[in-house]
Amino acid sequence: MKSYEIALIPGDGIGVDVTEAAWSVLTKAAAGAGFALEGTTFPWSCAFYEETGAMMPADGIATLRKFDAILLGAVGWPVRVPDSVSLHGLLLPIRKSFVQYANIRPHRLLAGVEGPLKKTDFDILCIRENTEGEYSGAGGRVHQGTSDEVAVETSIFTRTAVERILRFGFEQARKRRGKLASVTKSNAQKYSMVFWDAVTAELAAEYPDVEVTGYHIDAMAARMVMAPESLDVVVASNLFGDILTDLGAAIQGGLGFAASANINPDRTAPSMFEPVHGSAPDIAHLGIANPIAAIWSGAMMLDHLGEAGAAKAVMGAIEAATARGIGTVPGQNKTSEITAAVLAALA
Ligand code: NAD
Ligand code: IPM
Ligand code: MN
């Protein structure tokens, strides 16, 4: 039987619950489709940091490299470990080391889910640059604690990374409704975003069949609320994409519905699948986290592994549950109830 090796990193807070939920659905879908998922769980988290002094072992990246894919819950427990330590010690190095340069985040309403907007017919694919930009980690602080203190955070935009993410966006637009929105702030940022616009214009010449529109990030934020149906593929830098995809999550009913895939399109290293949301310390241990974002992310993993049939079955099961109102109102159903409903629909 065909088998895939999956690294499971549940992480912190609700990451643990939603990963367990997603794994139960994915393994059942695999069995139904005639292949196996072999999971290896890594306890890398803020608790692991407190025990060992590191978010993952020194050979963590080398260990993960052997897997077919990574399924991650959420990382971060800010009252115990600063986010700047936990995220830069685990999540962000995985994205960067494995050149998972395309962070794909779909935003649409699942059957039975009422978002906060009157418009319900939107289907947006946000594609976020995932390796550099505002997340480059370049900078420093001088004269700390004095009135002369200065902090510098340098965004780095390379032609390689800007070109490949925009090209990825053009290709996705071509497969969808042929529209690409490129998001910058080139009215205020003179170098990086003007450069991004220039690369967009260069590539547009290669994709005459794709309709390209440039938007400033502020205007895009408003458009996603006022006219989400006007958007198809939206490409943005690391930070802008981060912010827009929590907005995307909101218009699709909440963070419990927002899935994401960190893709290495060249397949030179494993890709990673995780919900958009974090560890949600405010609801951790209450058993009410919505696992749908994690399960949907798992469906994206199956698709990436080439198991489109099983991915479709998982999405069908999610929507069979939500169409009956299970998991559609935040806090109304337990994580276990929502998972059970998806599992039952898969049968
Ligand atoms: P968060 O996404 O964890 O939570 C924001 C709000 O959304 C909270 O009110 C939370 O209860 C709610 N929420 C999130 N997911 C939910 C779900 N599945 N079901 C129901 N409600 C849900 O964001 P935050 O509070 O800013 O971050 C908490 C921690 O998680 C921080 O350490 C942060 O850095 C980290 N974080 C990690 C990731 C990741 O690992 N990919 C993503 C975002 C935040
Ligand atoms: C996300 C998260 C992360 C990000 C944080 C936790 C570093 O918000 O995956 O959207 O900004 O990429
Ligand atoms: Mn985010």
**Cα-based distances in Å from 174 to 47, 177, 198:** 44, 7, 20
Domain range for residue 339?
1-101+259-347
Q: Has residue 120 been placed in a domain?
A: yes
Residues 144 and 217 in one domain: yes
The torsion angle over the Cα atoms of residues 207, 208, 211 and 216, rounded to 10 degrees, is 60
pLDDT of residue 129: 98
For residue 242, give the ligand 2 atom closest to its CA. Answer: 10
Residues 172 and 263 in one domain: no
Distance, in Å, from the CA atom of 300 to the CA atom of 315, rounded to the nearest integer, reads: 9
Q: Has residue 106 been placed in a domain?
A: no
CA of 31 to the centre of ligand 3 (A): 32
Q: For the chain, how many structural domains are there in total?
A: 2
**74 DSSP β-pair partners:** 11
From 338, 344, 343, select the one nearest 18 (Cα to Cα).
338
Shortest-distance ligand to the CA of residue 246? 3
Q: Has residue 108 been placed in a domain?
A: no
Find the CATH number of the domain harbouring 12: 3.40.718.10
Which of 234, 251, 268 is the C-terminal boundary of a domain? 251
Residue 19: which region, alpha, beta or left (left: phi > 0; alpha: psi -120 to 50)? alpha
Distance, in Å, from the CA atom of 292 to the CA atom of 273, rounded to the nearest integer, reads: 13
Ligand 1: which of 12, 255, 274 to mutate, most ligand atoms within 8 Å of CB? 255
Shortest-distance ligand to the CA of residue 247? 3
Sign, CA torsion 59/62/67/73 = positive
Distance, in Å, from the CA atom of 77 to the CA atom of 72, rounded to the nearest integer, reads: 15
Residues 38 and 137 in one domain: no
Residues 284 and 331 in one domain: yes
Residues 186 and 282 in one domain: no
Residue 282 CB–ligand 1 contact under 6 Å: yes
End-to-end CA distance of the chain: 20
From 293, 305, 306, select the one nearest 335 (Cα to Cα).
293
Residues 122 and 247 in one domain: yes
pTM, whole model, 2 decimals? 0.98
CA of 284 to the centre of ligand 1 (A): 10
Along the 347 residues of the chain, how does pLDDT read in single tens digits?
Answer: 999 999 999 999 999 999 999 999 999 999 999 999 999 999 999 999 999 999 999 999 999 999 999 999 999 999 999 999 999 999 999 999 999 999 999 999 999 999 999 989 999 999 999 999 999 999 999 999 999 999 999 999 999 999 999 999 999 999 999 999 999 999 999 999 999 999 999 999 999 999 999 999 999 999 999 999 999 999 999 999 999 999 999 999 999 999 999 999 999 999 999 999 999 999 998 999 999 999 999 999 999 999 999 999 999 999 999 999 999 998 899 999 999 999 999 98
Which of 193, 221, 251 is the C-terminal boundary of a domain? 251
Residue 167 carries which side chain, given as an amino acid letter?
R
CA of 33 to the centre of ligand 2 (A): 33
Report the alpha-carbon angle 38-44-45, nearest 5. 130
Distance, in Å, from the CA atom of 104 to the CA atom of 129, rounded to the nearest integer, reads: 9
Residue 249 CB–ligand 1 contact under 6 Å: no
Residues 157 and 205 in one domain: yes
Phi and psi angles of residue 4, each rounded to the nearest 5 degrees, phi first: -120, 140
Residue 6 CB–ligand 2 contact under 6 Å: no
Residues 317 and 192 in one domain: no
In three-state secondary structure terms, 253 is coil
Residue 300 CB–ligand 1 contact under 6 Å: no
Q: Has residue 49 been placed in a domain?
A: yes
For residue 91, give the ligand 2 atom closest to its CA. Answer: 7
Ligand 2: which of 45, 86, 130, 242 to mutate, most ligand atoms within 8 Å of CB? 242
Q: Has residue 146 been placed in a domain?
A: yes
Q: Has residue 50 been placed in a domain?
A: yes
For residue 15, give the ligand 1 atom closest to its CA. Answer: 40
Distance, in Å, from the CA atom of 347 to the CA atom of 326, rounded to the nearest integer, reads: 17
Ligand 1: which of 279, 282, 286 to mutate, most ligand atoms within 8 Å of CB? 279
ipTM score assigned to the predicted complex: 0.99
Strand 233-236 relative to strand 123-129: parallel, antiparallel, unpaired?
A: parallel
Q: Has residue 329 been placed in a domain?
A: yes
Distance, in Å, from the CA atom of 321 to the CA atom of 146, rounded to the nearest integer, reads: 56
Residues 128 and 228 in one domain: yes
Residue 301 CB–ligand 1 contact under 6 Å: no
Please count the other Cβ atoms lying within 10 Å of the Cβ belonging to residue 8: 20
Residues 1 and 87 in one domain: yes
Residue 20 CB–ligand 2 contact under 6 Å: no
Which of 200, 235, 251 is the C-terminal boundary of a domain? 251
Q: Has residue 107 been placed in a domain?
A: no
Residues 189 and 285 in one domain: no
Residues 285 and 182 in one domain: no
